[in-house]
Amino acid sequence: MAELNTGDGGGKKGDGKVRSKKSNSKVDLTAMVDLAFLLITFFMLTTTLSKPQSMSLGLPDKEDKPDPKNQVKVDENRTMTILLGDNDKLVRYVGLLATPVAGGAPKEFSYGKEGIRKELLSRKKLVLEYTGNKDKGMIVIIKPSKKSNYRNLVDVLDEMAIVDVPTYAIVNEYTPEEQKLLEGK
Amino acid sequence: MAVKMSKKAASIDMTAMCDVAFLLLTFFILTATAKIPEPLPVDTPASTVQTKLPDTDLATITVGKGKVFFDLKGREVRKRTLELMGQKYGVAFTEDESAKFALMEGVGVPITSLKQLIAMKSSERSKSNLQPGIPKDSLDNQLSQWIQNARIANIEIDDKELQIAIKGDAKEEYPAIKKVMDILQDQKINSFNLVTGLRAKDK
């Protein structure tokens, strides 16, 4: 047991009478245990949380001279293009810009659950119905403009992970029409 | 006698509990990694993806306020990288400087002023606006050299490919990030990590 002999019996060691007085006082460990557990909690939480989270990103090989043989043509009905502008602006269209598919005309969306995620989910379903093939899901093309910031890019990549879009790519080329789309309105 | 017994039962013996608590405490203190002050504090954007970064074989490129900082894990790898960088740019580092560099945080100075940076105290180094960032222009692409030499050093010492993480500030404009990605892609690094904060899923 955690007991400490207090000083009064110290001088008379070996004397049986002193021991019978039972003047030992127990040290109260409660406060010490409290403190120890508090520190444990602190260190447990800080060690697990301080490890930075990360998001892995794979990009295609960079080609200096694009080889026409490697160009893959995809069905425009499966693609959605997301343009990222300045001031957290996000515009999306489905299909080709000149001839968007039904309901896919350029439209502005907000970030987050109520905005682009809803659209992505519904569009993903539509694409699956259209192709009827699980392996041919939606393709999302993300086009960050020069004015967009890094948070927007990570937000959109995050939406891709949440919605589980099978194929997405970051494309840096802008057509003049798309530029106009972002600047206008 | 009976009175004595009841007195003993009144208080619980906490010795064992105390022992366990302190054992755990010691364990967590020892395993905890001390947070190194960052010379370039950045506010990372949040995401719901929860992949942890590796502890070893990792280079972190911090991008913020238009500056680029480079950080590397592993003392031996750092020493070797410094040696290779010194050879490349004709700067000789002493044994002392190399040992000090191995323990340093991320650097953000051109290679020519690295010597002065190493000579400083760590409290002086972490002052903001002291380090101008690593040059990354096409004429003087030191960032690319850092990455390349770090990869060579990592393969020599640990026999593993170096992982690259990009730690960007949330408000940083996209071209700055793209520039770093381009430098990585020029070296055929097509897969890397973006350091993010934690966020709840339905936000």
What range defines the domain where residue A107 resides? 75-183
Identify the pLDDT of residue B143. Answer: 85
**Matching residue, tokens 């002999």:** A5
CB contact under 8 A, A56 and B22: no
In this structure, the answer to whether residues A94 and A43 fall within a common structural domain is: no
Can you give the pLDDT at residue A12?
46
Q: What is the pTM of this model?
A: 0.72
For the stretch B118-171, pLDDT in tens is 888 777 777 767 788 888 877 778 888 888 888 888 888 888 888 888 888 888
Q: What is the DSSP letter of A150?
A: H
- Please name which of A51, A50, A43, A52 lies closest in space to residue B30, comparing C-alpha atoms: A43
User: Residue B182's closest chain A neighbor by CA?
Assistant: A62
Are A108 and A172 in the same domain? yes
Q: What percent of chain B has pLDDT over 70?
A: 89
Residues A113, A161, single domain; the answer is yes
Contact, A29 vs A2, CB < 8 A?
yes
Say if residue B199's pLDDT is above 80: no
CA B125 to CA B121: how far, in whole Å?
6
pLDDT number for residue A128: 81
- Residues of chain A with pLDDT below 50 are 7, 9-13, 16
What is the reported pLDDT for A24?
A: 65
Number of domains in chain A: 2
Q: Cβ neighbours of residue B33 under 8 Å, at least 6 residues apart?
A: A47, A50
* Cβ atoms A56, B191 nearer than 8 A: yes
A vs B: CB pairs below 8 A? 160
Residue B192's pLDDT is 83
DSSP letters spanning A31-100: HHHHHHHHHHHHHHHHHHHSSPEEEEEE-PPP-SS--GGGPPP--GGGEEEEEE-STT-EEEEEB-SSSB
Distance CA B159, CA A109 (A): 47
Is the residue at A69 inside a domain? Answer: no
What does the pLDDT read at residue B202?
A: 56
Q: What is the pLDDT of residue A10?
A: 44
- Which one-letter DSSP state was computed for residue A14? T
Q: Where are the beta strands (DSSP E) in B147-190?
A: 163-168
Phi-psi region of B5 (alpha: psi -120 to 50; beta: other; left: phi over 0): alpha
A165 and A125 in a common domain? yes
B27 pLDDT exceeds 70?
yes
Per-residue pLDDT at B24 exceeds 50: yes
Q: Which of B17, B182, B191, B196 to mutate to test the interface with A (most CBs of A within 10 A)?
A: B196
Residue A179 lies in a domain: yes
Instruction: Tell me the per-residue pLDDT of B73-89, one tens digit each, with 9 for 90 and over.
Output: 888 888 888 888 888 88
The pLDDT assigned to A82 comes to 84
